[in-house]
């Protein structure tokens, strides 16, 4: 009976019924192990603190990539719908916010098919290579001050470009292993496109390296602290323009999404992919949008620094000690939420006689929690530099994510010959010109001073 039920399950069902009990057993074992061996485990962690920190940072990065992809997918559906005067997703979750999660589950539950004639090993590992190269570049992106970076490298910028360039290997693997001429053509296009635009992309940041004197991304951000006039985009406007265009091509975003041109080559390298292997390719693409936006902010737009030097220069030190209130802390926790709920519920109740008392109280409770949450965030922003830095970094990054979505909804796709000509005949020369002008300006300033 058990064997018959097991055979009727789909592949995702078998995975769920295998993985979930295993995770539950591991969780219970972990809790019991920590309870019995907490002291020795803590001593080992303290002895190898750098390794433990790296493991935690890598785990956190892996965990945030999928939600990041879901958020950007939702942004694309909603923003492009608004630009096209359509309603867009609105039925699944508040304002359709859970529709991207449904798309992810749909991809997860589809049949993962390997076509006849394909190389199964290379065919399977291609999306893994593409996805992991995207995730590994996040290791060196500084999200905020006070060490809010997974791994601090002195050559962080070099590491970023070295790892990101490996994505073309995965695309070629997928195109070749699919045993499909359209897929092979898409893989060759991806190799030509990524290699062609990788050169001006790297050359575009050489001006910033000359000005900063380092390839350490944390130091580059620290050099841009203060007013927004210190951001490198004002000293390297041509370098930023070249970087942004080349990065768009590197991320296979419109108008440079030639590797998956459905009007010409069906879907390019992904033509034969389905299920989660297909999902990994496009999760990687959406994560790349976030990564490219984050690197743009880091190198040219001050990273975690606010446009004005606040609260770095006159930060307020919130020396709060809730424990000193004693029994008063319990009274505050019990009384303050109730009082705020009544204060916010009263106007709602007075606005209209159609609003019932319980509805007003429910609305007041929600508003009170939003108010308390806002106070907590404001206090953390003022009192902790890393909170303020993280908020500014994410805000500026998602401005560029919005720009990429905007471009997808407005710009037409270019032809492959236009794509290649622009890289070799325009961007390459402009990148070298930017380097020569920047180096000459530095030498001239040093001579005059």
Report pLDDT for 387: 82
d(CA 193, CA 417): 11
Q: How confident is the model at residue 314 (pLDDT cuts 50, 70, 90)?
A: very low
Write out the two tokens for 240: 């930023």
Angle at 46 between CA 41 and CA 50, to 5 degrees: 120
Considering the domain architecture, whether residues 340 and 438 belong to the same structural domain is answered as no
Please state, in angstroms and as integers, the Cα–Cα distance from residue 356 to each residue in 343, 353, 363, following that order. Answer: 16, 7, 11
Residue pair 208/158 in contact (Cβ under 8 Å)? The answer is no
Mean pLDDT on 40-60? 69
Q: For residue 370, is it within any domain?
A: yes
d(CA 70, CA 63): 12
Mean pLDDT on 128-143? 87
Q: What is the DSSP string of 234-289?
A: HH-HHHHHHHHHHHHHHTT-TT--GGG-HHHHTTGGGTT--HHHHHHHHHHHHHHH
Please state, in angstroms and as integers, the Cα–Cα distance from residue 326 to each residue in 320, 337, 379, following that order. Answer: 13, 18, 22
Write out the two tokens for 36: 């019995």
Q: Compute φ and ψ for 276, nearest 5 degrees.
A: -70, -25
Higher pLDDT, 357 or 42: 357
Domain of residue 375, residue span = 322-383
Residue 276 has pLDDT above 50, yes or no: yes
Render pLDDT for 72-120 as a digit per residue (tens, 0 to 9): 888 888 888 888 888 878 887 777 878 888 877 777 777 777 777 778 8
Mean pLDDT on 295-303? 92
Which of 25-34, 192-201, 374-383 has the weakest average pLDDT? 25-34
Considering the domain architecture, whether residues 232 and 377 belong to the same structural domain is answered as no
Render pLDDT for 215-237 as a digit per residue (tens, 0 to 9): 999 999 999 988 888 999 999 99
Report pLDDT for 320: 54
Residue 13 has pLDDT above 60, yes or no: no
Render pLDDT for 361-400 as a digit per residue (tens, 0 to 9): 888 888 888 888 888 787 777 777 888 888 899 999 999 9
Mean pLDDT on 22-27? 73
Q: For residue 236, is it within any domain?
A: yes
Considering the domain architecture, whether residues 356 and 439 belong to the same structural domain is answered as no
Using CA atoms in the order 75, 77, 78, 79, what is the torsion angle rounded to 10 degrees? 70
Report pLDDT for 436: 93
d(CA 388, CA 394): 10
Mean pLDDT on 38-63? 70
Contacts of 257 (CB under 8 A, 6+ apart): 413
Considering the domain architecture, whether residues 235 and 281 belong to the same structural domain is answered as yes
d(CA 144, CA 304): 5
Q: How confident is the model at residue 430 (pLDDT cuts 50, 70, 90)?
A: very high
Number of domains forming the structure of the chain: 2
Please, what is the average pLDDT of the chain? 80
Give the residue carrying structure tokens 């325009």: 426
What 3-state class would DSSP assign to 449?
coil
Residue 257 has pLDDT above 90, yes or no: no
Q: For residue 133, is it within any domain?
A: yes
Residue 270 has pLDDT above 80, yes or no: no
CB atoms near residue 381 (< 10 Å): 19
Query: Cβ-count burial of 219 within 10 angstroms (0-12 exposed, 13-18 middle, 19+ buried)?
Result: middle
> Which residues make beta-bridge pairs with 144?
148
Considering the domain architecture, whether residues 390 and 438 belong to the same structural domain is answered as yes
CB atoms near residue 290 (< 10 Å): 25
Q: For residue 99, is it within any domain?
A: no
Considering the domain architecture, whether residues 117 and 178 belong to the same structural domain is answered as yes
Report pLDDT for 164: 86
Considering the domain architecture, whether residues 368 and 300 belong to the same structural domain is answered as no
> Which residues make beta-bridge pairs with 148?
144
Boundary-marking domain end, from 360, 383, 406: 383
> Does pTM top 0.85 for this prediction?
no
Among 37, 142, 62, 140, CA closest to 45: 37
Considering the domain architecture, whether residues 369 and 232 belong to the same structural domain is answered as no
Q: For residue 90, is it within any domain?
A: no
Higher pLDDT, 263 or 415: 415
Please state, in angstroms and as integers, the Cα–Cα distance from residue 226 to each residue in 45, 221, 308, following that order. Answer: 37, 11, 6
Q: For residue 100, is it within any domain?
A: no
Residue pair 174/187 in contact (Cβ under 8 Å)? The answer is yes
Mean pLDDT on 143-164? 86
Maximum average pLDDT range among 17-21, 155-159, 178-182, 331-335: 155-159
Q: Compute φ and ψ for 273, nearest 5 degrees.
A: -90, 150
Residue 325 has pLDDT above 60, yes or no: no
Write out the two tokens for 337: 């939420």
Which of 46-60, 100-114, 166-180, 310-324 has the weakest average pLDDT? 310-324
Boundary-marking domain end, from 383, 411, 432: 383
Residue 193 has pLDDT above 90, yes or no: no
Boundary-marking domain end, from 351, 383, 415: 383
Considering the domain architecture, whether residues 145 and 267 belong to the same structural domain is answered as yes
Residue pair 174/273 in contact (Cβ under 8 Å)? The answer is yes
Give the residue carrying structure tokens 């080992």: 44
Q: Compute φ and ψ for 192, nearest 5 degrees.
A: -65, -45
Considering the domain architecture, whether residues 258 and 157 belong to the same structural domain is answered as yes
Considering the domain architecture, whether residues 137 and 219 belong to the same structural domain is answered as yes
Give the residue carrying structure tokens 């490198």: 232
Which of 49-58, 323-332, 423-432 has the weakest average pLDDT? 323-332
Among 239, 156, 139, 246, CA closest to 201: 246
């Amino acid at each position: 009976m058990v064997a018959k039920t097991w055979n009727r399950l789909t592949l995702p069902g078998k995975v769920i019924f295998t993985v979930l009990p295993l995770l539950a057993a591991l969780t219970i074992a972990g809790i019991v192990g920590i309870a019995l061996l907490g002291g020795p485990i803590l001593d080992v962690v303290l002895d190898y603190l750098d390794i433990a920190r790296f493991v935690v940072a890598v785990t956190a990065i892996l965990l945030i990539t999928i939600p990041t992809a879901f958020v950007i997918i939702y942004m694309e559906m909603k923003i492009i719908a608004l630009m096209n005067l359509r309603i867009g997703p609105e039925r699944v979750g508040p304002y359709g916010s859970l529709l991207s999660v449904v798309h992810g589950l749909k991809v997860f539950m589809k049949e993962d098919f390997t076509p006849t004639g394909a190389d199964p090993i290379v065919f399977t590992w291609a999306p893994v290579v593409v996805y992991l190269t995207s995730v590994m570049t996040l290791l060196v992106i500084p999200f905020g001050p006070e060490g809010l970076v997974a791994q601090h490298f002195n050559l962080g910028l070099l590491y970023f470009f070295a790892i990101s360039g490996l994505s073309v290997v995965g695309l070629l693997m997928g195109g070749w292993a699919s045993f499909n001429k359209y897929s092979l053509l898409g893989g060759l296009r991806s190799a030509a496109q990524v290699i062609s635009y990788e050169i001006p992309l790297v050359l575009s940041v050489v001006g910033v390296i000359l000005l900063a004197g380092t390839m350490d991304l944390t130091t580059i951000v620290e050099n841009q602290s203060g007013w927004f006039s210190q951001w490198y985009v004002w000293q390297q406007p041509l370098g930023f323009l070249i970087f942004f265009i080349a990065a768009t091509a590197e991320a296979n975003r419109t108008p440079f999404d030639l590797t998956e041109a459905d009007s010409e080559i069906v879907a390019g390298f992904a033509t034969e992919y389905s299920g989660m292997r297909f999902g990994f390719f496009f999760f990687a693409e959406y994560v790349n949008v976030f990564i490219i936006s984050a690197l743009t902010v880091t190198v040219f737009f001050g990273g975690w620094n606010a446009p004005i030097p606040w609260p770095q220069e006159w930060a307020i030190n919130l020396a709060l000690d809730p424990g000193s209130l004693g029994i008063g802390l319990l009274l505050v926790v019990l009384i303050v939420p109730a009082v705020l709920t009544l204060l916010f519920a009263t106007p709602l109740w007075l606005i209209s006689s159609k609003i019932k008392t319980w509805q007003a109280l429910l609305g007041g409770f929600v508003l009170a929690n939003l108010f308390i949450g806002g106070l907590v965030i404001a206090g953390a922003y003022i009192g902790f530099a890393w909170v303020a830095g993280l908020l500014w970094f994410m805000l500026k990054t998602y401005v560029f994510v919005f720009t990429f979505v905007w471009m997808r909804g407005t710009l037409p796709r270019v032809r492959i010959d236009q794509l290649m000509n622009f890289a070799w005949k325009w961007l390459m020369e402009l990148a070298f010109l930017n380097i020569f002008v920047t180096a000459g300006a530095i030498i001239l300033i040093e001579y005059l001073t």
